[in-house]
């Protein structure tokens, strides 16, 4: 039996992971994979139940599993808490404890959704990029950190810190991914200001020597952000640190039409992988069955591919999602202003994907 841990989290997390799990079970079943699920708390839900955003028991449960399907964490109820006890800390801790340093965020555009982008169709058609974000280092984790309130002025500090081996291993993931794609890597940095970025330039350049077939380009992150909206199709693989990757991956996601469509995988050296939609907990629409479950469903596809070695089952899910969109079904986030189209709820969209999966075996 393959053990999958589901961490639904907060906001729309529970509703979308439920649909992700249904699609996962259906696709796995059709390919002869038996899955065994354990559900546990993370984020605000865990704070409410246990006073901490992630318990040691849940970390142990995740360590013992093959893969984790996660929803989202956070919401206004916990916004007043200090940084180190907020829901987000649970997510950061699980990434760090399992050393999930490689965050893969593919941004592709489904043909049926080209019009949903805020950019013109001719700019959007055919976008197919992969943001490879370093996930366990940099500004998010560097010490010292904190707010000092003792002097005449309140002073806050965070530390951006990377060791060469951390840069090297994420860069290798980026180049290996590029070898399976269009063989281009764009490293985004701020080396005109930051020493950390200068070290990235050095190490990325060294790793590139092992991949003579891959074209490498270094791009300042500010102009890179600009090119992402000007000409997103020029990008194949983007590799960058934790903070820049957080920002650029939302941007990359949005140019494809909706943040509600983008899945992600967080991987370490072998071992367990964590899969989650890139969108957040969207507390404003939680519990109303209107959220878009497709990013969670596509995260289940990434889980099948990267953790269960079942690329055909993963492809079934992607094909099923494309077929549902081609048939004209849209969740609220995908309906254009002024467009007259019935809106499909979260459960109903999950039903459609499952029906599509069942029809194709
Ligand atoms: C993401 C999110 C998280 C991050 C938050 C919720 C801590 O924005 O996965 O992109 O910043 O990494
Ligand atoms: Mg983010």
143-199 pLDDT, tens digit each: 999 999 999 999 999 999 999 999 999 999 999 999 999 999 999 999 999 999 999
Assess contact for 16 and 294: CB atoms under 8 A: no
**Measured between alpha carbons, how far is residue 78 from residues 43, 53, 317 in Å?**
9, 10, 35
- Tens of pLDDT, residue by residue over 214-235, are 999 999 999 999 999 999 999 9
| 332: nearest Cα among 343, 320, 318 | 343
The ligand whose atoms approach the alpha carbon of 74 most closely is 1
Q: Whose CA is nearest to atom 8 of ligand 1?
A: 246
Whole-number average pLDDT of the chain: 96
Q: What is the pLDDT of residue 361?
A: 62
Expressed in angstroms and rounded, the spacing between residue 280 Cα and the centre of ligand 1 is 8
pTM, to two decimals:
0.96
Positive or negative, the CA dihedral 347, 353, 357, 358 is positive
User: What is residue 217's three-state secondary structure?
Assistant: strand
Q: What is the pLDDT of residue 360?
A: 82
Counting every residue, how long is the chain? Answer: 361
Q: What is the pLDDT of residue 136?
A: 98
End-to-end CA distance of the chain: 22
Q: What is the pLDDT of residue 324?
A: 97
Q: Would the CB of 134 count as within 6 Å of ligand 1? A: no
Residue-wise burial string across 123-149, b where 16 or more C-beta atoms lie within 10 A, e elsewhere: bbeebebbbbbbbbbbbbbbeeeeeee
Residues (pLDDT < 50) of the chain are none
Expressed in angstroms and rounded, the spacing between residue 349 Cα and the centre of ligand 1 is 25
H or E segment to which residue 187 belongs: strand 184-189
- Tens of pLDDT, residue by residue over 50-68, are 999 999 999 999 999 999 9
Question: Could you identify the atom of ligand 1 that is nearest to the CA of residue 276?
Answer: 9
Q: Would the CB of 88 count as within 6 Å of ligand 1? A: yes
Q: Whose CA is nearest to atom 7 of ligand 1?
A: 88
> 2-9 and 35-39: which strand pairing?
parallel
Q: Would the CB of 91 count as within 6 Å of ligand 1? A: yes
Q: What is the pLDDT of residue 257?
A: 82
DSSP label at residue 231: -
């Amino acid at each position: 039996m393959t053990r999958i841990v589901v961490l639904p989290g907060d906001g729309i997390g529970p509703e979308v992971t439920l649909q992700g799990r249904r699609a996962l079970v259906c696709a796995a079943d059709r390919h002869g994979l038996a899955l065994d699920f354990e559900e546990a708390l993370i984020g605000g839900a865990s704070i409410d139940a246990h006073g901490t955003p992630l318990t040691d028991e849940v970390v142990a449960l995740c360590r013992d599993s093959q893969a984790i399907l996660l929803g989202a964490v956070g919401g206004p109820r916990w916004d007043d808490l200090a940084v180190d006890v907020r829901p987000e800390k649970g997510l950061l801790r699980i990434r760090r404890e399992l050393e999930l340093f490689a965050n893969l965020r593919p941004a592709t555009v489904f043909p049926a959704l080209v019009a949903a982008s805020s950019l013109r169709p001719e700019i959007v058609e055919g976008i197919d990029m992969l943001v490879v974000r370093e996930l366990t280092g940099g500004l998010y984790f560097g010490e010292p950190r904190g707010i000092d309130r003792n002097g005449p002025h309140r002073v806050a500090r965070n530390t951006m810190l990377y060791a060469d081996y951390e840069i090297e291993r994420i860069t290798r993931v980026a180049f290996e991914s590029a070898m399976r794609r269009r063989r281009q890597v764009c490293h985004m940095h701020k080396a005109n200001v930051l020493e950390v970025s200068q070290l990235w330039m050095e190490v990325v350049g060294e790793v590139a020597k092992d991949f003579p077939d891959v074209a490498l380009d270094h791009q300042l992150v500010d102009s890179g952000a600009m090119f992402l909206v000007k000409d997103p199709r020029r990008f194949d693989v983007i590799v960058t640190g934790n903070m820049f990757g957080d920002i650029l991956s939302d941007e990359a996601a949005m140019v494809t039409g909706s943040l509600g469509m983008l899945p992600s995988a967080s991987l370490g050296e072998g071992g367990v992988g964590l899969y989650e939609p890139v969108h957040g907990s969207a507390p404003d629409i939680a519990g109303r069955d209107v959220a878009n479950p497709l990013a969670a469903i596509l995260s289940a596809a990434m889980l099948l591919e990267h953790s269960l070695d079942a690329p055909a089952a993963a492809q079934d899910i992607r094909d099923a999602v494309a077929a549902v969109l081609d048939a004209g079904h849209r969740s609220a986030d995908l309906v254009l202003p002024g467009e007259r189209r019935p809106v499909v709820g979260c459960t109903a969209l999950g039903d459609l994907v499952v029906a599509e999966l069942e029809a194709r075996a």
